[in-house]
Amino acid sequence: MKVHCTNCNYQYSPRSGKMPSKCPYCDKQGSIEKIKEMQQWIDEIADEEVEKSSRC
């Protein structure tokens, strides 16, 4: 998982796998948002298609 700070635009991957409550770079509270990576989109679409075909 990758997150970014909406305040300073710092991007990193938290090791705990959890959303940090504040930015480790600029120290602003509540500025961290999750980034959805392209591979994640692809994986989700692939899962959907498998589900549909198994239903038939």
Q: State the Cα–Cα distance between residues 32 and 36, nearest whole angstrom.
A: 13
Task: Tell me: does residue 35 bind Zn ion (CB under 5 A).
Answer: no
Among 10, 12, 14, 22, binds Zn ion (CB under 5 A): 10
Beta carbon nearer to Zn ion, 33 or 43:
33
Does residue 23 touch Zn ion according to CB under 5 A?
A: yes
The residue behind tokens 């705990």 is: 16
- Between the CA atoms of 16, 8, 29 and 23, what dihedral angle is there, to the nearest 10 degrees? 20
Position 25 contacts Zn ion (CB under 5 A) = yes
By CB under 5 A, the count of residues binding Zn ion is 7
